Amino acid sequence: MRCEVIRVPASAPHDMKGVRALVEAGRLKPDEVIAVLGKTEGNGCVNDFTRGYAVSAFRAYMEEAVGKSAAHISYVMSGGTEGVLTPHFTIMSRSLEATETSSPDEKSLAIGVAHTRDFEPEEIGRMTQLQLVSEAVLEAMREAGIERAADVHFVQVKCPLLTTDVIHEAERQGKDVVTEDTYKSMGYSRGASALGVALALGEVDGASLTDEDICQSWDKFSSVASTSAGSELACCEVIVFGNASGANGPFFIEHEVMQDAIDGDALRRIIDKHPDAELVQVLAKAEADPSGFVRERRHTMLNDSDINHTRHARAVVGGVLAYVCGDPMIYVSGGAEHQGPAGGGPVAAIFKRANNDQ
Amino acid sequence: MRCEVIRVPASAPHDMKGVRALVEAGRLKPDEVIAVLGKTEGNGCVNDFTRGYAVSAFRAYMEEAVGKSAAHISYVMSGGTEGVLTPHFTIMSRSLEATETSSPDEKSLAIGVAHTRDFEPEEIGRMTQLQLVSEAVLEAMREAGIERAADVHFVQVKCPLLTTDVIHEAERQGKDVVTEDTYKSMGYSRGASALGVALALGEVDGASLTDEDICQSWDKFSSVASTSAGSELACCEVIVFGNASGANGPFFIEHEVMQDAIDGDALRRIIDKHPDAELVQVLAKAEADPSGFVRERRHTMLNDSDINHTRHARAVVGGVLAYVCGDPMIYVSGGAEHQGPAGGGPVAAIFKRANNDQ
Amino acid sequence: MRCEVIRVPASAPHDMKGVRALVEAGRLKPDEVIAVLGKTEGNGCVNDFTRGYAVSAFRAYMEEAVGKSAAHISYVMSGGTEGVLTPHFTIMSRSLEATETSSPDEKSLAIGVAHTRDFEPEEIGRMTQLQLVSEAVLEAMREAGIERAADVHFVQVKCPLLTTDVIHEAERQGKDVVTEDTYKSMGYSRGASALGVALALGEVDGASLTDEDICQSWDKFSSVASTSAGSELACCEVIVFGNASGANGPFFIEHEVMQDAIDGDALRRIIDKHPDAELVQVLAKAEADPSGFVRERRHTMLNDSDINHTRHARAVVGGVLAYVCGDPMIYVSGGAEHQGPAGGGPVAAIFKRANNDQ
Amino acid sequence: MRCEVIRVPASAPHDMKGVRALVEAGRLKPDEVIAVLGKTEGNGCVNDFTRGYAVSAFRAYMEEAVGKSAAHISYVMSGGTEGVLTPHFTIMSRSLEATETSSPDEKSLAIGVAHTRDFEPEEIGRMTQLQLVSEAVLEAMREAGIERAADVHFVQVKCPLLTTDVIHEAERQGKDVVTEDTYKSMGYSRGASALGVALALGEVDGASLTDEDICQSWDKFSSVASTSAGSELACCEVIVFGNASGANGPFFIEHEVMQDAIDGDALRRIIDKHPDAELVQVLAKAEADPSGFVRERRHTMLNDSDINHTRHARAVVGGVLAYVCGDPMIYVSGGAEHQGPAGGGPVAAIFKRANNDQ
């Protein structure tokens, strides 16, 4: 297996010009695309339709390019490009033709995808979602040939939310949903998904987990989970990024954990470890510290009734990481429940080895 | 002259508990206070009343503490604590009792204040405002004993804006105002003030300046101006921060210019120059790059109709600088027209010398 | 007893010019003022400091005008003047000098005020708050000489909310608060207060009420309650408006219930009943229908992550009632939990009898 | 000619379920559709992608339904469903098969469409746009068989705006655009389009019009223009609604002018004139009064830096008209420059005659 990652800027959520140009230039083979991670310029909250618009445009383009086989591509669009963040797509490709260039003792980037079944409204934000996500992570690892949890460096999960319609329908049927607040449901869904990742990777003890832990026990978390909620799906889609000895090619991935929103050193440590490699993409999660404090200083993100706290957090983390890596076209997604420590979050970096005759 | 700078967190715009505690502990002498720079948790735009509320509370407290002589204190409240920024006040004090501790060849922090006359609505954002601000800067330098423009490291100007009421009154009287958009008037007022600073310090050529340069000729700017518009005053209040050989005490100030919103290296350079000094406060300006790009990547700040671009910019610059200095309780103010290069802005740092027996 | 109501526009939250002018013109006697209801131009949500700013300015002015005796005045500032709503104050005065003009069989406006003790964080939004508000309503009725529940036409309650600070402090002490979401705490506090009014007036059966009813059992509500949460107090302040045979003067009050946000007919019915009286003020509550529908049509207020639903609702109800009465300077407050039916709310109108030789 | 109008609710911008159901039930013939007017749930300002998303979904569905001939359908999506407004589509159909039911002396609804050529950036918001829109209106009237200007009751124009990209490109080419503010460009484009309608219908004197009148001379306006700006087109699309003796069928249209945002009587007058007809749809424009006052009371819409004034205005007018007609699923579009008097706007109602055996 050989995995590649390429970024393309978007002038609007539905802009396929850049993608089309890459394909026409032979730099992207549409039939090898397995997943797309997008940053779209909506509010990243409940009524953000830029995510669905981007998926719709991408799906139409890929179907035009490769036909029915495009149906298996996994799209994860994360809304919100606050501050300096640049709207763009990160496209993951995978091919099975081995190349001769990779050395046998070097692990290379391996990407696996899987998805759960559709969830019932009453399952969202609870143990059922958590467990099925955990199973999907293990399945995606197998698919990617990643053997050890320590070789997993980023797990992106796209998960559903509860819309007003769904909540009312559930009420009519006497079903008990985790919250009647659409916005809050995004947090529960992200939290359950992240703990699902943690369970799969042995970061938490499955035997002790209950519904009550979800969005409560902040000391339980995954250091590599990145989960994002949207109204455009009813299941969870899982993309596992890791390094595998069975994979080849010049790409590889590493991760660190940001302890808080201004912990740029986390990314700096990764970059400093690979002075000769080209940084291809940064993937990170952001959240407003639920304690109301960052470095013992009060922040106002949680009390701001005009701007959602996830929007504040993305602006900060996007700025800090863009400074460290020198590029605002990175993937920073909001709402980091159980993704890294409270107020912090995972950050991963994908590199391309230098001196590699690709 | 001996100048001191102290920061105090605020739990709300009108919170005087911290200030009161400093006074009661003998760490702040209210009769030596000459100026207060605040970050208040409003939107920092037209309808931000947290600035006026803070001034009102501060004025009442200081009058209670020192009586009529409090009337000369200059208050500059900058709204907007987006992201990690912490609401707080920076209090500047000045005393005339010389101490023995400063060495003769060391310059120390010197602060001077001055203000213009009240402006007519049609003068705001135009050459009259620019020239009167320039004169006030020179007056404040003289008051502080700062001899050279090169010794000026930060000039804070609080300037007026055009409210809807004022615009309509001006229209009724047949007066031509620079813009009929209240929000835009904040930019013109900040821009004219900043060019006034630049003129005073020889950063621009006065002979060639016209009304048309204001908020147009972005290549003309001051590297040390920080201007902030509010509806609570009709004149411009100017506070000049610099170093003077006639001043003593352990405090001193330096500045650099951020080339763009993620240029954290500017602050890092200042800090690295003074490894033994204690960083007391950071003062900076932020703005959304008017080109629509940062490091050749598109940003969406100027097209966001839900969140004002100044709010985005403060979140980014606040995050980047908080990362560099490790503290979110810093002064980052939005709207950097003619304050540093387009998209960038000045950043100053106030230090306290170590090994100083204060 | 003789009660009067006068409105005064405000050019800003702290604008006392209009109040001062009324006093100087002899139209308002400051020593007779018992309560002030304000509409201030903030966001009406958690971080709305315009309410506190207005109270602070009013308190300072009244103390200047009447000294210590001003301390008993009740201030209820409701933030949010969305749409056409005009920032203003409604000032209620009460005097004991009887006039000869009122006929014995006519009831006139009577206003009573009372307040509860300060609440502990864990009491907010629960039965304790509900019961103490109920007692305060009965006390205010007695004070006003209003004998029957049917003569009560509007009960304004100002109630506390849970701030992030308070929530964290409660957590540290192991106290269980009703919600850890500051914004949601406003709803619980308003809901408990409204059911307290309903209990006092016999609109609900006290024996069956439990904590679970608050913000759940929407079929339990008061037709005259108007409750408003703010961070500036820890107790509940209650102002009861009704008609009493023991009161005299030309003012009287009536109420109706809006069934939904566009039920302008409710106010029209009141106005049509009194063709010869002068309408002095309208008082109403607004909320986004929690069902997600108005007249079986979907609304998007609850899914909008950019604008709070209370802001949408005030804009709508303010517009509808301003159309019906022809005046945008009316009191429309948001968040109508248990205040009128779900999605609707109480509306009251204060009139001045014509042909009354005042 | 025979024109029909049908409304269909949308659960999201791209929701075609309702449209599909109408087609499958035989109530809508896709090959007769000539135009679609939509209300989508975005912010209605610069970065509102719900409009483009809706057009994209509709176009795909119609192409699937009728093939290439769908290309001529005109889509006008107006973003913003503030307050009670319901996201929905209004679909206009036209067929040439005459029916026998209309009486010879009755005029029936006639709809004509036309569009201008694409505009250069420097033409937007200026006389060229104005004049070409005027020509397109006359062309659409001819197409519809509407003989007199007095028979025109609503003219919808969809017009372009200047995006940041376009502005910068124009700058690079040395072209002078009407404004460098994307948001403001929407106003200029709407204003020029509305005056174009006024010119076509003889509501203004063409000889005296200049660039300076656009968004300045508010006393020049059209009583039937409704213009809406979006980034998804570079030309102006014009849809003229009127009554024509050459048309038949049960539908007809009338209009009135709202003098301000709370002038619900305008719609009431139209409805009262046709007690026996069924109201099918209401079409209106809304704006925040540029004077800062409504009925001599101050409003805060223009000073609100958190919520755009067009959003406030739609919420108010939507609420007032929904009250009058009893239905929130109506078309209220924001930004009424030169569309009705300053602060007011046109309102049109489409009816279906009763006792008509359709």
Residue-by-residue DSSP string for D276-328: TSEEEEEEEEE---TTSEETTEE--GGG-SSS-HHHHHHHHHHHHHHHHHT-S
Gap between the Cα atoms of A174 and A178, Å rounded: 13
Is residue C36 within 8 Å of residue C89, measured between CB atoms? Answer: yes
Tokens of B187: 């930019």
Q: Rounded to the nearest 10 degrees, what angle do helices A50-66 and A17-24 cross at?
A: 30
Judge whether B55 and B158 are in contact, CB under 8 Å.
no
For residue C16 the two structure tokens come to: 């006392």
Would you call D358 exposed, middle or buried from its count of C-beta atoms within 10 A (0-12, 13-18, 19+)? Answer: exposed
How far is it, in rounded angstroms, from Cα D118 to Cα D128? Answer: 11
Say if residue A67 is exposed, middle or buried (CB neighbours under 10 Å; 0-12, 13-18, 19+): exposed
Share of chain A above pLDDT 90, in %: 87
Neighbours of B188 (CB within 10 A): 25
Torsion of CA C134, C135, C139, C142, to 10 degrees: 70
Distance in Å from the first CA to the final CA of chain A = 15
Domain B2-352 has CATH 3.30.70.270: no
C-alpha span between B52 and B64 (Å, rounded): 18
pLDDT of residue A98: 59
Q: Does A330 touch chain B (CB under 8 A)?
A: no
Tens-digit pLDDT profile for residues C98-127: 555 556 678 999 999 999 999 999 999 999
Neighbours of B331 (CB within 10 A): 25
Best interface-test mutation with A: which of C162, C184, C186, C303 has the largest number of A CBs within 10 A?
C303
Which residues on chain B are in Cβ contact (under 8 Å) with C47? Answer: 41
Looking at the partner chain, which of A168, A291, A305 has a beta carbon nearest the beta carbon of C291? A168
Put simply, whether A186 touches C (Cβ < 8 Å) is no
Closest CA to D253 of D157, D153, D346: D153
Q: What is the pLDDT of residues A13-42, one digit of tens each?
A: 999 999 999 999 999 999 999 999 999 999
Residues forming a β-bridge with D225: D155
**Binary contact (C49, B47; C-beta < 8 A):** no
Residue at B71: amino acid letter: A
CA C140 to chain centre: 14
Confidence class of residue B232 from pLDDT cuts 50, 70 and 90? confident
Tally: H helices and E strands in chain B: 7, 14
What are φ and ψ of residue A187, in 5° steps?
-65, -45
CA distance B266 to B341: 13
Any CB–CB contact under 8 A between B318 and chain A?
A: yes
Residue from the list A43, A165, A168 with its beta carbon closest to the beta carbon of C305: A43
- Chain B residue with minimum CA distance to A317: B319
Among A11, A42, A56, the residue with its CB nearest the CB of D56 is A56
What pLDDT, on the 0 to 100 scale, is given for residue D358? 42
Highest mean pLDDT: which range of B85-99, B163-177, C265-279: C265-279
Give the active site residue among C107, C108, C134, C158. Answer: C158
* pLDDT at residue D120 in the model: 95
Binary contact (A52, D12; C-beta < 8 A):
yes
Beta strands in B80-230 (DSSP E): 88-95, 108-115, 152-159, 225-229
Amino acid at C100: E
Would you say D295 is a known binding-site residue?
no
Residue D81 to residue D319: CA distance in whole angstroms: 11
Position of tokens 């489409």? D350
Residue A261 and residue B319: Cβ atoms within 8 Å?
Answer: yes
Which portions of chain D are predicted below pLDDT 50?
357-358
Q: Backbone dihedral region of A15: left (phi > 0), alpha (psi from -120 to 50 degrees) or beta?
A: beta
What pLDDT, in 10s, does the model give residues A318-344? 999 999 999 999 999 998 999 999 999
Report the alpha-carbon distance of residue A356 to residue A278 in Å, rounded. Answer: 11
Of A47, A164, A292, the CB nearest to C305: A47
CB B156 within 8 A of CB B36: no
Q: Do B42 and C52 touch (CB under 8 A)?
A: no
Tokens of C128: 């304790």
Q: Does D259 touch chain C (CB under 8 A)?
A: no
Whether the pLDDT of residue C171 is over 90: the answer is no
Give the β-pairing of A345-352 and A278-286: antiparallel
Using an 8 Å Cβ cutoff, are B253 and B348 in contact? yes
- Residues of chain A found within 8 Å of residue B327, distances taken between Cβ atoms: 295, 297
With contacts defined as CB-CB under 8 Å, which chain B residues touch A81? 299-300
Cβ D56–A52 below 8 Å, yes or no? no
Specify whether A158 is catalytic: yes
> Pick from B168, B302, B304: which is nearest to D292 by CB?
B168
CB proximity A59 to D under 8 Å: no
Taking alpha carbons only, the member of A115, A193, A200, A117 closest to residue A152 is: A200
Length of chain A, please?
358
Q: Report chain B residues whose CB lies below 8 A from the CB of C11.
A: 165
Q: What is the DSSP string of B229-253?
A: E-TT-SS-EEEEEEEETT-BSSEEE
Binding site membership of A for substrate: which residues? 51, 78-79, 190, 228-229, 314, 333-334
Cα dihedral B81, B83, B86, B88 in deg (nearest 10): -10
Q: Residue A303: which of C182, C304, C308 has the nearest Cβ? A: C182
With CA atoms as reference, the chain A residue closest to D49 would be: A50
Chain A residues whose beta carbon lies within 8 Å of the beta carbon of residue C184: 181
* Alpha-carbon separation of residue C9 from B334, C17, D298 (angstroms): 32, 9, 8
Residue in the block written with tokens 């909001």: A334
pLDDT at B14 over 60: yes
Q: Do A12 and D49 touch (CB under 8 A)?
A: yes
pLDDT in tens, C290-336: 999 999 999 999 999 999 999 999 999 999 999 999 999 999 999 89
The average pLDDT across A263-290 equals 97
Q: A317 to chain C, minimum CA–CA distance in Å? A: 20
Sign of CA dihedral A201, A207, A211, A213: negative
Q: Is the Cα dihedral B326, A347, A312, A125 positive or negative?
A: negative
A241 and A90 Cβ atoms separated by less than 8 Å: no
CB contact under 8 A, B319 and A85: no
Residue B108 three-state SS: strand
* Percent of chain B whose predicted confidence (pLDDT) is above 90: 87
Condensed to tens digits (0 to 9), the pLDDT of residues B317-354 reads 999 999 999 999 999 999 899 999 999 999 999 999 98
C86-C91-C97 Cα angle (round to 5): 155
Cβ <8 Å between C311 and D307? yes
Closest Cα in chain A to B325 = A262
The answer to whether A263 contacts B299, with C-beta atoms less than 8 Å apart, is no
Beta pairing, strands C331-334 & C345-352: unpaired
Give the closest-approach CA distance of A167 to chain D in angstroms.
14
User: Facing residues of A254 across strands?
Assistant: A349
pLDDT (0 to 100) of residue C46: 87
Q: A49 and D52: CB-CB below 8 Å?
A: no
Q: What chains are in contact with B, requiring at least 3 Cβ pairs below 8 Å? A: A, C, D
Residues at the binding site of C for substrate are 51, 78-79, 190, 228-229, 314, 333-334
D314 labeled binding residue: yes
Which pLDDT score, from 0 to 100, does residue D357 have?
43
Q: Hey, how many other C-beta atoms are within 10 angstroms of the C-beta on A273?
A: 12
Please indicate if the annotation marks D296 as binding a ligand.
Answer: no
The two beta strands, A278-286 and A331-334, are parallel
Q: Return residues 266-295 of D near B (CB < 8 Å).
A: 291-292
**Cβ contact D49–A60 (<8 Å):** no
Torsion of CA D213, D218, D219, D225, to 10 degrees: 90
How many interface pairs between C and D have CB atoms less than 8 angstroms apart? Answer: 129
What ipTM goes with this model? 0.94
What number of H helices and E strands is found in chain A? 7, 14
CA angle D33/D34/D38 to nearest 5° reads 85
How many of the other CB atoms lie within 10 Å of CB of D264?
A: 24
- Closest by CA to D329, choosing from C344, A49, C294, C313, is C294
- Chain D closest CA to A50's CA: distance in Å? 7
Q: Is D95 annotated as contributing to ligand binding?
A: no
Q: In sequence order, what are the beta bridge partners of D114?
A: D238
Q: How far apart are the first and last CA of chain B?
A: 16
Spatial separation of the C-alpha atoms in residues D26 and C303, rounded to whole Å: 33
Average pLDDT over residues C172-176: 91
Query: Is A302 in CB contact (< 8 Å) with chain C?
Result: yes
Distance, in Å, from the CA atom of A14 to the CA atom of C94, rounded to the nearest integer, reads 64
Give contacts of D311 with chain A, Cβ < 8 Å: none
Ramachandran area for residue A230 (φ above 0: left; ψ -120 to 50: alpha; else beta): beta
Indicate yes or no: CB of A302 within 8 angstroms of CB of C45. Answer: no
CA distance B330 to B88: 8
